[in-house]
Every structure is written in structure tokens, then in C-alpha cells.
Structure 1
Amino acid sequence: MFYGTVVWDPWLIVAQIVCLQCLYYTTLGISMAILVGTRVSRMSLVYFFDFATLTASTATGWCVMASFMISSFVGAGFLVYLIERAKKCLDFSATLYIIHLFICIMYGGWPSSLTWWVVNLSGFAVMALLGEYLCIKRELKEIPVRYRPSKFFFTLPYTKFAAYL
């Protein structure tokens, strides 16, 4: 199959979504453990899914915002290796943030904080645009071609062919 051909594989798409979501939350957890864990006595899922923790009025809130942005930058790198196509980066980034919105709604209600929306929309933009840029850069990378083939490449078929003569 050629690289440009599109194959509809729903199980692959679901697996990519689940894997990307898990890697995003793993990165978010690690960055929150480093930045927020030093400031609070006990880490909990409140910092992941409650919109009230994303506030610009406290230092902990700024650390939570920084954790979300770090996860967006790292998530763009995950898009390069998991999704591998620039035209799919926007779709997978939107899916990730829509799933995150639904989890936040189930956990703490509708996010009524403007800061929550600004952080998540800017994180979505960073992840989608940087992911597309990195995927395009990878897709346009030159394919290395050897100018001098190895000696083994030519001698092995030649000797086998010559043995039959």
C-alpha cells in the first residue's frame, strides 16, 4: 500500500485517541507533580478537572496553567509519532480537548471560568498548530539515498548467479 492511500480503520483511530489521551494525562500528571506538587500538601484530580484551580490569582494556579501548557507542547510531539499526518493533527487535538471538556463537566460542572477557557483553547491551538508544523517537517524530510551501495549488496547476488553458470 502506498503512503498516501487512506484506509478506514476505526480500531486504529480509537486506539490512537485512547493512547494520545493517556499520554496527555500522563504528561499533565508529571508536570503537575513537579510544579504543583511542591506547593500543595496533597495532589488530587481536582487540579486536572476542576475549573476553579485554573486561576491567575495564586501561584499554584499559575503552576497549574503552566502544567497544561507544557502538556500541550509535549502533546504536539506525541502527535508526530502517534498520528504521523499533518492533516489529522487538528482532528485528534480537538478530540482530546473535547473529551477533556466532557470529563471536566462530569467532575466539576460546566467550566464558568474565563481562565479555564483561555488556557484550554490556547493549549488546543498550540497542540494542533505545533503538531501540524512538526508533522509537515517530518513528511517533507528527504529520504536518504546511498550513492555507493555496499559491497555485500552486489557481490552476494553476483556470486550466486555466477555459481549457476
Structure 2
Amino acid sequence: MQLFHHKLINLRITWLFSDPKPSPRPPKSSSTKKSINFPTPIHANSPHFASVYFVRSQLPMSKMKKLTGSFRYTQWDPCLITCQIVSMQSVCYLSLCVLVAIMEDLTSSTRTLDHIFEYHEIHVRDGEGRSVISAFVLNAIIAAVALWFIVGRTKLCLDFSCTYYGIHLIACWMYNGSFPTTFSWWTLNVACAAITCVSGEFLCLRTELQAIPLSNIGAKVDL
């Protein structure tokens, strides 16, 4: 009886100090955690990079504009620029001839091309010279309206204004046979070029701002 009692005590001691087996963990359910597959970056040395570059190079210009997010068609077009220059020169010289003819009728002077291309006709000594100056100033405003209709770009107003008056300088140089040296001619043409450029930029800028529908945006915008 005592031997049985000692064996029972030894079994209890062994059970107390022995390491219990770890309980098996429940299997992970696929609904608790989802794996996120990040896209693998394409390196320049990988064969996929060459194929992507080839596909992009074969896209037409209309789709390339959508990819780059450009606002306007910015490709250099010499035919379009030449047509715009010719149109500007034709409209401005036609309006200048009409205005000079009206001023000549008002001052009862002879109609001649000297009032347009002659250096010494630009003066303020009499009514005939002042009428020619008035015709040039009014023509500068008409040239600004022509810039608005023909060019329609704020960034190009300075270029086309300088082109118009630069061609006028060459025409006067060829008409007179000498380079202009009178102060009144240079003052008038520089002032008219400034009026044309500033007025044209103002008109084109108003049109470009109207193309942005800011009124459709709500009062509250999440930033």
C-alpha cells in the first residue's frame, strides 16, 4: 500500500514539472487578411521597357497630347505662321490706307503713298501731318483687333507686332532709299507697336480666361 502511494506521488510530481504540448493554432482564414500585389517597376534594362517605349513612339500625335496633358497644339507649323504674317500685313496695310485716305479728304490734301512710307511726312507742324499721325494711331488699335482674330495667342502678340512694324521699317527703307533717322518717325512707330502689342495681349488674355469654366466650381472644394 505504501509502495502504491509513493508511485502515485511520483506520477503527480512528474506531471507537474513536465512541459505540456503546445495547443495547435487554428488555420488562418483567407477572409481576414488579403495580400496586396504591388506593381513591379519597369527598369530601363528590362525587356519590357523597350516594348513600352516602342508602343508609345507609335502613338499618333492626338493621343500623345492626351498623355502629356498639353493644353494646346505646340508643334511648330511654318505654313500657319507664314499665313498669319501675310494676313496681318494685308489687314493692317489695308486699314492704314483707308484711314489715311479719310484723313486726306478731311484735310483736303493730295492722296499719295508718301503719307504712309515717307519719313518727313510724320510731323506736327500742320494739320496734314497730325492727321497722318492720327491715322497711324487708329491703325494700331485695328492691328490689335486683327491680332485677336488672326493669332489669338497672348504669348505671340509681341512677336507679330514686332514682325509687322519690322516689315514696315524695311518697306519704308526701300521706298526712301535710306535708313530712317527722323525722331518723329521712330517715336510714332514705337508707340504704335506698343499700343498694338498691349491691346492685343489684353484682348487675347480675356478670351483665354473665358475658356476656363470657373463658374461651374462649387462653393466648397475639398483640398
- The Cα of 1:37 is off from its aligned counterpart by 3.0
Cα offset, 1:143, TM superposition: 5.9
Give the drift of 1:38.
3.1
Q: Is the aligned partner of 1:81 residue 2:145?
A: no
TM-score (norm 1): 0.82
Does residue 119 of the first structure (1) align with residue 188 of the second (2)?
A: yes
Pairs within 5 Å for 1:47-58: 47-58=115-126
Alignment-derived partner of residue 50 in structure 2:
none
**1:76-118 per-position Cα deviation (integer Å, ceiling 9, x unaligned):** 0010110010000000000000000000000112222111111
RMSD: 1.8
Structure 2, unmatched stretches of 5+, are 1-61, 63-69, 217-223
Distance 2:197 2:160 in 1: 8
Distance 1:92 1:143 in 2: 25
Cα distance in 2 between the residues matched to 1:90 and 1:32: 25
Q: Give the CA deviation at 1:42.
A: 2.7
Which residue of structure 2 aligns with residue 27 of structure 1? 95
State the one-letter code of the partner of 1:135. Answer: C
Distance 1:59 1:41 in 2: 10
Structure 1 runs not aligned, ≥5 long: 148-165
What residue is the counterpart of 1:39 in the other structure?
A: 107
**SS of 1:117's equivalent?**
helix
Q: What residue number does 2:163 align with?
A: 95
What CA distance in whole angstroms lies between the structure 2 residues aligned with 1:37 and 1:45? 14
- Aligned counterparts of 2:212 and 2:159: Cα–Cα separation in 1: 27
Instruction: Give the structure 1 partner of residue 201 of structure 2.
Output: 132
Q: Residue type matched to 1:60 in 2? A: E
For normalisation by structure 2, the TM-score amounts to 0.62
TM-fit CA distance, 1:41: 4.3
Give the length in aligned residue pairs: 146
- Structure scoring higher RCO (CA < 8 A, sep ≥ 6) equals 1
> What secondary structure does 1:4 align onto?
coil
1:104 aligns with one of 172, 180, 184: 172
Q: Structure 1 vs Structure 2: percent identity of aligned residues?
A: 34
| CA distance 1:39–1:129, change in 2 (3 Å) | same
**Which entry has the higher C-alpha Rg, 1 or 2?**
2
Q: Flag the structure with higher helix content.
A: 1
The reply to whether residue 63 of structure 1 matches residue 131 of structure 2 is yes
